[in-house]
Amino acid sequence: MLQKYIDICKEETGVDLAVTDIKGNMIAGTYASDKELPKKYTETPDGRYRVYASGKGADTAAVMLSGWIQIRNALMDEEGAVDETEAFWLRLMKETVRRNASEEEAAGMQRLTEEYGRGAEKIGIDPEVKRIVYLLEIGKGQNNTELNSAAVELLKQMSPDPGKSSIVHGEDGLLIVIREVGGKLSGKKEISQYRIWAEEYVSMINTELMEKVSVAYGNPSETLPEVACSYREALEALNVMGKYYEERTIASYAALDVGGLFYHVPEEIQRRFLREIFGEKETVTLSEKELQMVVKFFEKDLNLTEAAKDLYMHRNTLAYHLKKVQDKTGLDIRKFDDAQKLKLAMMLKI
């Protein structure tokens, strides 16, 4: 596997590469023998290997190979096997971020499309297929290694064609599902299907593992580098949901609502907005019961009668409590403008 990767790098970059142990004994490479190795080398961050490279762009190639070895080590199971498909997707996502930061986006994406298209075909990945990325966060705050392993098996079982989906272990305990999109889907049906798949993931984890799960997904991707874009979009959607929509379990990057806007607004501007409403304290304290009533009132589009019915109370009782909220906040949420202000302030954690 390592030799195969080095051969691909040599073919695509023209750079000679080699990996040795810490004593300089060659494990794999394109050099004829240890004696031909250059004097300069890059040591992997874990201190277990040395990476040698010579030729145009050798430093870049050495860093890439060093990074790949780190990924490879992280993906090893107890028997030492490596999932080359998983390694490919991780490398693609990380390399796309690096390239986009250093090149003009259009030219950089074109080069990546060609480069990774060749690499993908060699390990059986179709570079021309439309894909979408889902992120699953299972058992937040727990040591979820075992949970993720169990979830991976369930995901494989529920896939109609396991060969058309890739499951990758991402950073911070996230599971990344890179799913192929069938050519039959289009328009609103396609958008609805993305949501249905997310709901299936949530239902499966809730039912089979009895664990809470948050699922986020990006926009569909037409090229391999765009898969990395879909991943970043899914990650942003997950972060927005965690910060502004804690009650939700599914988030789509294409439908982040006001939370997607707030996510990119500097904190100082958010605090200024709160000061405009509540003064220098920037906050007010509502009881759990008051929050419940306010949320229900908003859910019922400011309809006092319907909200009271769902809360099992007389509408006059609800009106009394909303008046107490007005006394605390200075906002009469029976009026649209004041209701809008309080809802935004609640998203910002008043």
pLDDT tens track, the chain, 350 positions: 567 667 777 777 788 888 887 778 887 788 888 788 888 888 776 667 788 888 876 666 565 555 555 545 544 443 344 466 777 777 777 665 544 544 445 555 566 666 667 777 777 788 788 889 999 998 775 556 777 778 888 888 776 665 577 888 877 788 899 998 876 666 777 788 899 999 999 999 988 888 889 999 999 988 887 888 899 899 999 999 998 888 899 999 999 988 998 888 888 898 898 888 888 777 888 899 999 999 999 999 999 999 999 999 999 999 999 999 999 999 999 999 999 999 988 888 76
Which ranges in the chain belong to alpha helices (H)? 2-13, 58-75, 84-102, 105-122, 145-158, 187-204, 224-244, 257-262, 267-278, 288-299, 304-310, 315-329, 336-347
**Nearest 5°: CA angle at 82, between 130 and 211?**
70
In angstroms, rounded to a whole number, what is the distance separating the alpha carbons of residues 169 and 182? 24
* pLDDT reported for residue 71: 46
Q: Is 331 exposed, middle or buried (0-12, 13-18, 19+ CB in 10 A)?
A: buried
Sign of the alpha-carbon torsion through 286, 292, 293, 297: positive
In angstroms, rounded to a whole number, what is the distance separating the alpha carbons of residues 201 and 192? 15
